[in-house]
Amino acid sequence: MKYFISLLMFFLLVFLIYSYIPKEYNNNYFYMGTVINVQIKSSKKNISKIFNEVDNILKEYHQLTDRFNEYENLINIYTINNTSNQLEIDPKLYNIIDYSLNWAELSSGLFDIGLGNVIDVWKDFINKKRELPNLEELTKLTKKEIKLIPPNKIIGGSNIELGGVAKGYVVDVIANYLKEQKINDFIINAGGQVFVGKRNKDYKIGIKNPDEMGSLLVIKGQNINVATSGGYERFLEYEGIRYHHIIDPNTLFPSDYMQSVSVISKEGRLSDVLSTLLFVMPIDEGLKLVAKLDDVEAIWYDNDLEIIKSSGFNKYE
Amino acid sequence: MNRTDFKLIFIILFISILSLILLKNNDLKIAHVYYENNLILKLPLNKNKIYTVDGFNGMVVIEVKDNKVRIIDEISPLNICSKMGFIKESYETLICLPNKIIVTIESNKKIDTIIE
């Protein structure tokens, strides 16, 4: 009997310990034209509720920032782009546009969320659905400026495209939600955009070398966001020149200063905007910009695939 | 508690630690095929074979060859995932967005995640 009780106690103890060991969970979401993968490690029991809420967040931001579809009872980018009226918009959408316009001003227009139609033309060209566009035609597609009226209105009829900021923004919202739920060990991967949380050892994030399959550069850290912009994933080679879809607002042609750039910062929105911005800037100017910003580092692959790092980058290696 | 109790506890601990070690050293790579969030197929990479699964637009054909995996046929506008070629490392992923099919590789991973 004594024997039996001690055995029972032992199993009870094992069971108790086991139920408090954090487990790994993994979920995929299909929004914003990509797969968003959320991995969390937690000993909580209500994980499916948390994953559902993440789905709600993603769905809401997906619909708000969608420029191709309209939804019932929702004013989104599609609505804004296809009217000339003044519209009252959701504060979430207002904030994304406001954040983007601030960066547009800070970068003297080099970060541009008004190039939707131009990007569409280039995407069609890359997908071999049309001839090589010319500058005259592209210039006609750039429409009037985007104007917000505080606290919650916008003037419609512009040409908004939030591809350079929306994913970073929603990744922040999800990360904050998970932290509120006391889930600190997480990885959110939204294609070109990774947010990692906090745990007892550093996360290892791989950045692909733009040309060689398989070769990786590894970044180590916690509570950071990494975003990459590159022209190497989807492109078309035409008469010896590579065309992709990250457009230099000055030339309205694909930017060709580098193969790719990755930005590390504390915020998804910041990494996302900066990687887009740095991609359309000469590398030496980008280095100067990064040096001015707190808690921001970057790494470039130039056109010869040489690696250039910002001054504080080594703390992530 | 007497000596037998301790012996028993020791034996159980020994077995559990041993099984942990043995399980961890399993180095076989397995490709996991997901349709949305559902794991629909596990493919051992040490066996050359061609598999078909149902994607959103119809059949998706997956080939395992020489410890690598690729998609050889699927119905989609741009056929991006067929063009991606082979993957073999745990940080690599094949994504067929129109077909909602994702292929990942599970093994003892050294890297937590990768930026595409």
Output the six-digit token pair for A295.
């808690």
**Residue B90: per-residue pLDDT:** 79
* Residue environment code for A69-103, b if the CB has 16+ CB neighbours within 10 A, otherwise e: eeeeeebbbbbbbeeeeeeebeeebbebbebbbeb
Residues 6+ apart with CB under 8 A from B7: none
Cβ–Cβ contact B6 with A under 8 A: no
Instruction: Compute the distance between CA of residue B5 and CA of residue B13 in angstroms, rounded to an integer.
Output: 12
Interface of B with A in 14-43 (CB under 8 A): 34, 36-37
Nearest to B115 among A35, A127, A207 (CB): A207
Residues of B in contact with A207 (CB under 8 A): 114-115
Inter-axis angle of helices A91-106 and A268-279, nearest 10: 40
Which of B97, B96, B29 lies closest to B67, judged by CA? B29
Q: What is the dihedral of CA A53, A172, B39, A14, to 10 degrees?
A: -80
Cα distance from B50 to chain A (closest Cα, Å)? 23
Preferred mutation among A204, A215, A217, A236 to probe B, highest tally of B CBs within 10 A: A204
- Token digits for A169? 């923004």
Q: Which of A82-86, A181-185, B56-60, B89-93 has the lowest mean pLDDT?
A: B89-93
Contact B102, B33 (CB under 8 A): yes
Q: Residues A86, A156: contact at Cβ < 8 Å? A: yes
Q: What is the dihedral of CA B114, B54, A28, A78, to 10 degrees?
A: 100
For residue B24, is pLDDT > 90? no
- Which residue does chain B place closest to A188, by CA atoms? B113
Mean pLDDT of A293-313: 94
Confirm or reject contact between A214 and chain B (CB < 8 A): yes
CA distance A38 to chain B (A): 11
Distance from CA of A260 to the nearest CA of B (A): 11
- What is the dihedral sign for C-alpha A315, A280, A258, A161? positive
pLDDT bracket for residue A315 (50, 70, 90): very high
The chain B residue lying nearest A260, using CA atoms, is B116
Would the CB atoms of A206 and B113 count as touching at under 8 Å?
yes
Minimum CA–CA partner of A38 in chain B? B113
Distance, in Å, from the CA atom of A211 to the CA atom of A301, rounded to the nearest integer, reads 10
Lowest mean pLDDT among A197-206, B16-25, B101-110: B16-25
- Give dist(CA A67, CA A273) in Å, integer: 19
The verdict on ipTM greater than 0.90 is: no
pLDDT at A260 over 80: yes
pTM: 0.82
- The mean pLDDT of A58-73, rounded to a whole number, is 95
Is A133 exposed, middle or buried (CB count within 10 Å of its CB: 0-12, 13-18, 19+)? middle
Q: What is the pLDDT at residue A29?
A: 94
How many C-beta neighbours within 10 Å does residue B52 have? 14
Which tokens is A155 given?
């003037």
Q: What is the pLDDT of residues A20-46, one digit of tens each?
A: 888 889 999 999 988 999 999 998 888
pLDDT tens by residue, A121-175 = 998 898 888 889 988 888 888 867 899 999 999 998 888 999 999 999 999 999 9
Rg for chain B, CA atoms, rounded: 20
Of A127, A189, A214, the CB nearest to B113: A189
What the block records as the tokens of A118 is 């131009």
Find the residue in A nearest to B2 (Cα): A3
Q: Which H/E stretch holds residue A260?
A: strand A260-265
Mean pLDDT (chain A) is 91
Alpha helices by DSSP H, listed for chain A, are 2-20, 47-65, 77-81, 91-106, 116-126, 135-141, 166-180, 268-279, 283-292
Contacts of A10 in chain B (CB under 8 A): 8-9, 12
Task: Return d(Cα A179, Cα A294) in angstroms, integer.
Answer: 23
Q: What is the pLDDT of residues A71-112, one digit of tens each?
A: 999 999 999 999 989 999 999 999 999 999 999 999 999 999
Residue pLDDT, tens place only, A216-229: 788 999 999 999 99
